[in-house]
Amino acid sequence: MEKKHIQFFENLVGVENVYSDKAHLLAYSYDATRVTYEPDLVIFPRDEKDVQNILKYCNDFGIILTPRGAGSGFTGGALPANGGVVLAFEKHMNKILEIDMQNMVAVVEPGVINMDLQKAVSEKGLFYPPDPASQDYSSIGGNVAENAGGMRAAKYGITKDYVMALRAVLPSGEVIQAGKKTIKDVAGYNVAGILIASEGTLGVITQITLKLITKPKLKKTAMGVFSTVEEAMNAVYKTMASGVTPVAMEFLDNLTIKAVEQKFNKGLPTDAGAILITDVDGNLEEDIETQLLTIKKVFSENGSTFFKIAKDENESNELWFARRNASQSISIYGSKKLNEDITVPRSKLPQLLEKIEKISKKYSVNTPCFGHTGDGNVHTNVMVDGKNEDELKRGYEAIEEIFKATVELGGTLSGEHGIGLSKAPYMKLAFSEAELNLFKAIKKAFDPNNILNPFKMGI
Ligand SMILES: Cc1cc2nc3c(=O)[nH]c(=O)nc-3n(C[C@H](O)[C@H](O)[C@H](O)COP(=O)(O)OP(=O)(O)OC[C@H]3O[C@@H](n4cnc5c(N)ncnc54)[C@H](O)[C@@H]3O)c2cc1C
């Protein structure tokens, strides 16, 4: 980057808030995809005014800018694939500005860590449900820009269900306020809805207003074991349609169960086709018992061979152990994990899992699956030897076929990780030319000079 540009930014925000040395550029060159692209500069804005000035300057000089939260994204959204500036919020723009008890709303800056917000509102007796597994380090800005989901999504929804308003800076340097603290707001286009999951391609989010709810007092965990994955998937969608809404309804297939057992020796049923782990919550013991009885009944009607309710928190943690350790355990099947987060309408889960099995056989790859089946979201992990070119090729072919099958079943390429760079080539499988052209027109309206995180999301 030209010296004059670096000097401008240093004068604007202070030398201490601009990194241009090799070590720091390297530190900001990655996310969870393990692909790296070095930026030319990392800037830590102190406030929204800085964001405005930085964006306007970049826009005037055609400098590419990529917003970055905690860099925990799985699809390369925060990677500066074309160099330029990385704009990071963790140093200054990381404050909880307000917890408004009367309106049950929190107002935060983008760099606030998800778990810090959860703790802060919980101390006041309130609840912010979205809990991505990365909740200890991912930022609310990144959560909004990816529309993150979590274990509680089956009952409580995902990030978008809690965003009431966003302030954002456009590449021109102008600030927009999308939405209000009001429950209802039907005036004008739903611009906040467009910014959510826009992966930093339309505007830089500088302030987020989030809905809070009250936290249920009681929670219980149960587990069901099934002989086949089909029976388990039937049990999932039938439970969700039975009038009970579990907080979580997570699943592990046979390959995943075997992997966890091989690593941790927990006495898991390695001959089972699938395990379902579920949490229910409420304020009354009777309510919890009724929910568990209904789930037990639906599980049993759909072939469960074993059902256990955790007596206490220790037992609950034991039941959750396999799910929490699924991701690391499946490395026994290959050094490289091609992990996708496809999602289908819940009633299509049995067909989806059947298709994945057939595709895996066709390409001779192992595809352990686990995940948030309560919301139709399956983590599909095609495991290959990363050093074996032929196996890698087969792995990617299997992925493409799995995406096609997902779309045919009325599903989507991503339930929570977004498109970024890694899924960009597959956008054509899921969207028509007219839809992709509309995306491009929206991008142009926000960012006519294409300086904001360009070429992400296949746009
Ligand atoms: C172990 C692990 C578990 C995970 N589990 C889950 C899970 O359960 N559910 C889930 O949904 N995801 C999960 N993820 C993925 C990831 O944590 C989420 O996508 C998260 O929302 C990213 O937040 P971040 O702060 O790390 O954002 P980053 O990765 O830094 O950025 C993500 C995107 O947001 C944009 N962005 C960041 N800040 C702003 C801003 N202020 N304005 C505009 N754009 C911005 C970036 O440009 C980028 O496109 C997991 C990741 C890991 C590593």
Are residues 302 and 273 in contact, defined by beta-carbon separation less than 8 angstroms?
no
Domain match, 185 and 121 both: yes
Two structure tokens written together for 44: 């830590």
Burial class (CB in 10 A: 0-12, 13-18, 19+), 237: buried
Q: Is the residue at 421 inside a domain?
A: no
Two structure tokens written together for 53: 């000035």
CATH number at 59 reads 3.30.43.10
pLDDT of residue 268: 96
Q: Is the residue at 457 inside a domain?
A: no
pLDDT at 350 over 90: yes
The alpha carbon of 400 and the centre of ligand 1 are apart by a number of angstroms equal to 23
**Pocket of ligand 1 from Cβ distances under 6 Å:** 31-32, 66-74, 77-78, 89, 110, 132-134, 138-139, 141-143, 145-146, 148-150, 199-200, 204-205, 416-417, 453
Domain match, 203 and 222 both: no
Q: What is the mean pLDDT of the chain?
A: 97
Domain match, 141 and 234 both: no
pLDDT at 214 over 90: yes
Q: What is the mean pLDDT of residues 376-387?
A: 95
Q: Is the pTM of this model over 0.85?
A: yes
Q: What is the mean pLDDT of residues 231-243?
A: 95
Q: Is the residue at 8 inside a domain?
A: yes
- The count of C-alpha atoms lying within 13 angstroms of the C-alpha of 202, restricted to the half-sphere facing its C-beta, is 26
* Percent of the chain whose predicted confidence (pLDDT) is above 70: 100
Determine the distance from the C-alpha atom of residue 143 to the mean position of all C-alpha atoms in its chain, rounded to a whole number.
7
Q: What is the mean pLDDT of residues 266-277?
A: 97
Q: Which of 157, 191, 214 is the last residue of a domain?
A: 214
Q: Is the residue at 452 inside a domain?
A: no
The alpha carbon of 71 and the centre of ligand 1 are apart by a number of angstroms equal to 6
Domain match, 222 and 74 both: no
CATH number at 305 reads 3.40.462.10
For residue range 356-372, list pLDDT tens digits in order: 999 999 999 999 999 99
Domain match, 276 and 382 both: yes
pLDDT at 412 over 90: yes
Per the structure, the count of domains in the chain is 3
CA-closest residue to ligand 1 atom 45: 200
Q: Which residues contact 338 (CB under 8 A, 6 or more apart)?
A: 381, 382, 383, 384, 395, 396, 398, 399
Domain match, 353 and 277 both: yes
Task: Give the position of tokens 């219980």.
Answer: 220
pLDDT of residue 23: 96
- What's the rounded Cα separation, in Å, for the pair 94 and 99? 14
The alpha carbon of 99 and the centre of ligand 1 are apart by a number of angstroms equal to 23
Q: What SS3 class is residue 318? A: helix
Q: Which of 37, 65, 91 is the last residue of a domain?
A: 91
Domain match, 339 and 437 both: yes
State which residues form the domain around 24: 3-91
CA-closest residue to ligand 1 atom 2: 134
Q: Is the residue at 256 inside a domain?
A: yes
Q: Which of 58, 91, 124 is the last residue of a domain?
A: 91
Position in ligand 1 atom list of the atom nearest CA 200: 44
Domain match, 206 and 277 both: no
Q: What SS3 class is residue 320? A: helix
Q: Is the residue at 155 inside a domain?
A: yes
For residue range 80-90, list pLDDT tens digits in order: 999 999 999 99
* Percent of the chain whose predicted confidence (pLDDT) is above 90: 99
* pLDDT category of residue 314 using cuts at 50, 70 and 90: very high
The alpha carbon of 140 and the centre of ligand 1 are apart by a number of angstroms equal to 8
Q: Is the residue at 224 inside a domain?
A: yes
Q: Is the residue at 454 inside a domain?
A: no
Which helix or strand (DSSP H or E) is residue 37 part of?
none
3-state DSSP helix/strand/coil % of the chain, to nearest 5: 40, 20, 35
CATH number at 118 reads 3.30.465.10
Q: Which of 28, 72, 422 to mutate to test the pocket of ligand 1 (most atoms within 8 A of CB)?
A: 72
- The count of C-alpha atoms lying within 13 angstroms of the C-alpha of 340, restricted to the half-sphere facing its C-beta, is 26
* pLDDT category of residue 375 using cuts at 50, 70 and 90: very high
Q: Which of 55, 146, 327 to mutate to test the pocket of ligand 1 (most atoms within 8 A of CB)?
A: 146
Q: What SS3 class is residue 368? A: coil
pLDDT at 271 over 90: yes
For residue range 131-154, list pLDDT tens digits in order: 999 999 999 999 999 999 999 999
Domain match, 187 and 277 both: no
Domain match, 203 and 251 both: no
For residue range 26-47, list pLDDT tens digits in order: 999 999 998 999 999 999 999 9
pLDDT of residue 34: 86
CA-closest residue to ligand 1 atom 34: 142
Domain match, 347 and 293 both: yes
Domain match, 52 and 132 both: no
